[in-house]
A and B are shown apart, each in its own frame.
Chain A
């Protein structure tokens, strides 16, 4: 393994360090930082698919939703066994979201570009109506776990889950997704994905098995989405409603974050998630009610000025300087 190729993780660790320090030392900053970290994790996870392959999955939130249900089912069915229910929930979240992505990917990833995007919208909506329609996992009434969790784990432990543990897990998930991203970028798979993102036919004539790499990136990305759903939603909120966890707006936010920071870069989703999270949070504090009206033009302006995303732009400027070793 070439350690030097992992240098871009250094600025990432520095930013995480600053954020965690602020969260722990400044009063009342833990929750806002956790909120930003959710968006960073979302961007980092989605980037593994959208950024590395160039394919847009409009049904991405379905994997988060399934992950949320995976954790919910584990707590409900294995809660009586004690804390072991949490690792079971993590496991279920990953397995369920990966299985769905394998099924969707095996069919839809044979479609190109816009056709794939359209096909995936159906997956998310279809899943939501399945849950609501056949009253799967509580149907429209969802899963409300707070009472059960307080009874099983005690009030203090439940509070610890939702105000601390879930946030720490989200940070770990975001960081793990970033490590996986740079590992892929540094491996041969990174070149294969680069080639297929730029020109799929060219990748094929070079001997790259494009379907395999698309599916691998899709499953990896979906697994991380499942983890985010399990922790940032079920464990933190202690309830699951299908209209929340299959809400397409999270997919749109994920796309915005990845584009904002720089698709296919390592650091892009972190800066994209941070900028998006900070703006959304503070705009809603300063201009409650009209925050989106202000946010949207700002986002459009950023994307117009930096079409390759923030990190894409900085990387271009820093080309052939020593700084470029730390940017990816």
Chain B
């Protein structure tokens, strides 16, 4: 569904990505792992277009979308759950969700999408009138994912959804990701939480210094020496 070939990008003069190659198959969860500063977030932002790719190709459903602006990507079914949630804190839960269905395509499906979000996250339904800023961290992350669902996406890019959450809530977020796959969505996940994210992934990439240093099925990655070295320190 998503092909990334030789993607290079960065900030100003500083190059961060040095030729990323990855592939995401339909209805799977693919995870990008890697230490801080290895280019995980930049990869997602460059795929989505928040950072302009310097070189390389991004293809979605066999269309070249490398230089397509973010709003057009949302129109064809890609969205991004930003690191740090980026909700509208003074608006209610439901207002946040409805605002998420901005594109025409999403607006037509608004009622179905709201039902889907509330069935996935019954707690958001209970708190629909509450201001987003007053939700707990876990609920805010659910709302961020919910708002992404409101765009009626096929592919969701998620940047560290478990960041800053208590272990119990981390598990909940990953369960949600699994449910999304069951709903027929495709997910490309960036995570620091290696073992928990591998639990729910189909395929994984490990980045290092802006390149893919390792890729494979979940079992291959879990048993690899490099991951053990990088994350467990043995």
Q: Which listed residue (B50, B69, B72, B74) contacts A201, Cβ 8 A?
A: B50
CB <8 Å contact, A205 and B99: no
Quick check: is A208 within 8 A (CB to CB) of the other chain?
A: yes
In the complex, are the beta carbons of A207 and B103 less than 8 A apart? yes
| Contacting pair A208 B88 (CB below 8 A) | no
Contact segment of B59-67, B76-84, B181-189, B225-233: B76-84
Among B50, B69, B72, B102, point to the contact of A206 (Cβ < 8 A).
B102
Is B151 within 8 A of A207, CB to CB?
yes
In the bound complex, residues from chain A placing their C-beta under 8 Å from that of B34 are none
**Given A206-B151, A208-B71, A209-B69, A195 and B50 contact (CB-CB distance below 8 Å):** no
Residues of B within 8 A of A195 (CB): 88, 99, 102
Contact of A199 with B106 at beta-carbon distance under 8 Å, contacts A191-B99, A207-B74, A210-B71 already known: no
Could you tell me the distance between the alpha carbons of A88 and B68 in the complex, rounded to whole angstroms?
41
Is B70 touching A202 in the complex (CB atoms < 8 A)? no
B146 interfacial contact with A, CB 8 Å: no
Residue of B48, B86, B87 contacting most chain A CB atoms (<10 Å): B86
Closest-CB distance, A24 to chain B (whole angstroms): 42
- The reply on B138 being an interface residue by CB < 8 A is no
In the assembled complex, the Cα of A209 lies from the Cα of B102 at a distance in Å of 10
CA distance A202 to B48 in the complex (A): 13
**What is the CA–CA distance of A191 and B99 in the complex, to the nearest angstrom?**
7
CA of A210 to CA of B70, assembled, Å: 10
Q: Which residues of B contact A244 (CB under 8 A)?
A: none
CB pair A205 B88 closer than 8 Å = no
Q: Number of residues in B with C-beta < 8 Å to the partner?
A: 24
Minimum distance in angstroms from B88 CB to a CB of chain A: 5
B130 to chain A, nearest CB (A): 14
Neighbouring A residues of B82 by C-beta, 8 Å: 201-202, 205
* B81 x A205 contact (CB < 8 A): yes
In which size bucket is the chain A interface?
10 to 19
Let me know if A155 is at the binding interface, CB within 8 A. Answer: no
CB of B72, distance to nearest CB on chain A (Å): 8
A208 near B148 (CB under 8 angstroms)?
no
Closest residue of chain A to B105 (Cβ to Cβ) is A207
Q: Is the interface of B mostly helix, strand, loop or mixed?
A: mixed
A131 to B8, CA, bound (A): 45
Residues of chain B lying within 8 A (CB to CB) of residue A198: 88
Question: How many inter-chain residue pairs (CB < 8 Å) link A and B?
Answer: 56
A202 and chain B: residue at smallest CB distance: B86
Bound complex: CA of A211 vs CA of B81, how far in Å? Answer: 20
Q: Report the separation of the CA atoms of residues A17 and B75 in the bound assembly, to the nearest whole angstrom.
A: 46
Q: A317 contacts the other chain (Cβ, under 8 Å)?
A: no
A126 to chain B, nearest CB (A): 25
Q: Among the listed A199, A201, A207, A211, which residue makes an inter-chain contact with B102, where contact means beta carbons less than 8 Å apart?
A: A207
Question: How far does the Cβ of B48 sit from chain A's closest Cβ, in whole Å?
Answer: 7
How near does chain B come to A212, taking the closest CB pair, in angstroms? 8
Q: Are A204's CB and B99's CB within 8 A?
A: no
Closest chain B CB from A169 CB (angstroms): 37
The reply on B147 being an interface residue by CB < 8 A is yes
How far does the Cβ of A298 sit from chain B's closest Cβ, in whole Å? 28
Quote the shortest CB–CB distance from B85 to chain A (angstroms). Answer: 9
A199 touches B86 (CB 8 A): yes
Q: What residue in chain A is nearest B84 (Cβ atoms)?
A: A201
Q: Does A40 contact B (CB under 8 A)?
A: no
Check A192 for interface membership: any CB of B closer than 8 A.
yes
When chains A and B are docked, how far (Å) is the Cα of A313 from the Cα of B99? 24
Within 8 A of B (CB), among A166-213: 188, 191-192, 194-195, 198-199, 201-202, 204-211
**Considering the chains assembled together, what is the distance between the CA atoms of A201 and B48 in angstroms?**
11
> Contact at A199–B88, with CB atoms within 8 Å?
yes
Does B100 reach chain A (CB closer than 8 Å)?
yes
How far does the alpha carbon of A208 sit from the alpha carbon of B151 in the complex, in Å? Answer: 11
Question: A195-B99, A205-B82 known; 4 other A-B pairs, CB under 8 Å?
Answer: A188-B102, A201-B50, A207-B75, A207-B106
What 5 A-B pairs have minimum CB-CB distances, sorted nearest first? A207-B74, A207-B103, A202-B86, A209-B71, A204-B70
Task: State the B residues within 8 Å of A (CB).
Answer: 48, 50, 69-72, 74-75, 79-82, 86-88, 99-100, 102-103, 106, 147-148, 150-151
Chain A residues in contact with chain B, CB under 8 A?
188, 191-192, 194-195, 198-199, 201-202, 204-211
CB<8 Å pairs between A and B, sample of 8: A198-B88, A204-B50, A205-B48, A206-B74, A206-B99, A206-B100, A206-B103, A209-B72
